[in-house]
Amino acid sequence: MIQTRQPSTYRRSLAASLLAFSLCVSLGAGQPVFAEEKSIADADELLLQGKFEAAEESYRALCKSDESGDAHAGLAVALAKQNWPPKIIEAEKLLRSAKDKYSENINLMAAAGFVSYVHSRQVASPAKRDAYLEASEALCKRAIKANPETVIAHQTLGLVKLAQDDAEGAVEPLKKSAEMNPNNANKTLWAHALLRLDPRDKDAEQLVNEVLADDKKFYPAHLEKARVLLAQGKNEDAFMQLRNIPRAERNAEWSLVEGDIYRRQGDGPAALASWKEAIRQDPHLPDPYQHMGEYYALRGDGEFAIAEMHNALEILPNDMQLRNALAELALRQDKLDVAETEYRTILSSEPDDPRALLGLARVYHRKARREGQYPPAMQELMEKLQNIVSEQSVKAQVIKPGAKTLQESIQLNEAEKALTQKRFREGREIFSQVINTHRDDAYDLLTIGELALNDGDLRSAETAYTYAKEIAEVTNRAEQGISKIQSQRNEAARQTKLGDATWKIPEVAIDHYNQALIHDPQYPAAYYGLFSLFTKTEREDSDKAIDYATAFLEAADDANPLRKEVEANLAKLKKQPKKGKSTK
């Protein structure tokens, strides 16, 4: 369907807003490629000033005598930057007709990449959108390979990566474009990518402050400043930054941040309304869906949270970052089948994706803890994972933006592996390290708390919930988590007492002790009961007794009065000859 031209108050995405200020078609910082003739330089200046229709007219006149192809490249960009479908289509036709005549012109190649990127924002089909983005990426990379100083190619490549929800991949090209052409738009885009990776990034904060010091009316920078302040817990200041942006410049990202502020202030309905408005403004923006999913998870509505992630993936099926977020959410909600499906989907597209491999390993660890054995594919998975992790970390490569997330996934995998193997102290220590890095983030604390709870590490879960309880936004959810832990401990204690009371019927006692360990897999008294049963009764079994004694020593505090007894008996058991195992 042919779209009508948007009015001047059309709410653009952050990228579109910044494109109105940035994208200088240049080979070097501050040096227009069209400077061969004064008239070309004038057209460039109109483009840089955001006077796109006037720039279009100037480039059209120059195309009649264009010998290099630069005027055609400029015209294509001027047309595309008007963000109106008929103009974008005209730009594409223009580039196709100029392709053969000016086949060696790098600017035409870079302009084609930009036009393809802009067109991707106009299509409803996810498949077509991805095709345009992939074409844009390929063209930009070819232009950069031909001339690394092509600023527009770096800029567009960074925008493509942001559109693909790959902030890590966007950082380097946006950094290069800002270094070659350090205008306010390029600095803000670079800061935006950095803040997507880490809202507390100091370099991003400095870039935003530099831009606002230079131009207090550069509205995209106010939006990034609001993100910075929100991450620092300065909610009211962040809200004021948003209000500094005129209504005509309030886009989907603006509504997204508004929703984040409302959520931090405890106004859930207002937050949901803002996120839904962001989706209306830009259905291709994955963050609102993810933030709604996080909010529903905080509220305890796990099914709604997963449903929102699925809604996002219906629009962005090839967004592997979003799919990974869904898998992590499912793992948190203990929906192991959903998590496994999503991780496998990622690996079918990206077989060496370390986060998906780690996630699948964590699913296997949790299943093994419950079912008593690993799936047949576990060994192959771990070998592949070890090779990939070694390549990225052991070889002392420079840590790239986003590596913290990968490192954390490695830590959680090691924690869950340790818990599965009943190395409880090691697992708790790793969880403690992860918790301490997120002590000020409510959502992360609840996430880690629920992960630890589902992994059977009630102590780590309690630690995470205790920190979260101090954050007003999630106090109730944290208290619910602590209450659940206490209930499970109470049930573990009750089942252990029943086990102690039914020793004369070993099968019944063993069942009660095992029931206790279902409620608290690190309950020392239950392990002590099982250890005693298999050493002091006719069901004597040294192998099982050793296993239960080892688990008791891992689970019990150092001050536990039974430790010395168990340690002494364990030493004797390890020295004595093996006996045949008793039958049940």
Convert the pLDDT of each residue in 217-269 to its tens digit. 999 999 999 999 999 989 999 999 999 999 999 999 999 999 999 988 889 89
Euclidean distance between CA atoms 243 and 27, whole angstroms: 37
- DSSP letter assigned to residue 576: S
Ordered structural domains, the chain, with CATH = 1-164 (1.25.40), 304-392+403-486 (1.25.40.10), 492-575 (1.25.40.10)
Look at residue 580 and tell me whether its pLDDT is greater than 70: no
pLDDT of residue 237: 96
Residue pLDDT, tens place only, 89-144: 999 999 998 888 887 789 899 999 999 999 988 887 888 888 999 999 999 999 99
Please tell me the predicted confidence (pLDDT) of residue 21: 43
Nearest-10 Cα torsion for 550, 551, 553, 559: -170
Q: Which residue has the higher pLDDT, 396 or 375?
A: 375
Q: Which tokens belong to 135?
A: 């074409």
Q: d(Cα 18, Cα 112) in Å, to the nearest integer?
A: 19
Predicted confidence at residue 207, as pLDDT, reads 97
How many Å apart are CA 21 and CA 549, to the nearest integer?
68
* Coil, helix or strand at residue 1: coil
**Residue 396 region by backbone torsions, left for phi larger than 0, else alpha for psi between -120 and 50, else beta:** left
Over the stretch 449-476, which tens digit does the pLDDT of each residue have?
A: 998 998 899 999 999 999 999 988 788 8
| pTM, to two decimals | 0.68
| Cα 389 from Cα 408, distance rounded (Å) | 12
pLDDT tens for 515-555 read 999 999 999 999 999 999 998 766 678 889 999 999 999 99
Q: What is the pLDDT of residue 371?
A: 78
Secondary structure of residue 508 in the 3-state scheme: helix
Per-residue pLDDT of 472-513, as tens digits, reads 878 888 999 999 999 999 999 999 999 999 988 999 999 999
120's tokens: 């991707």
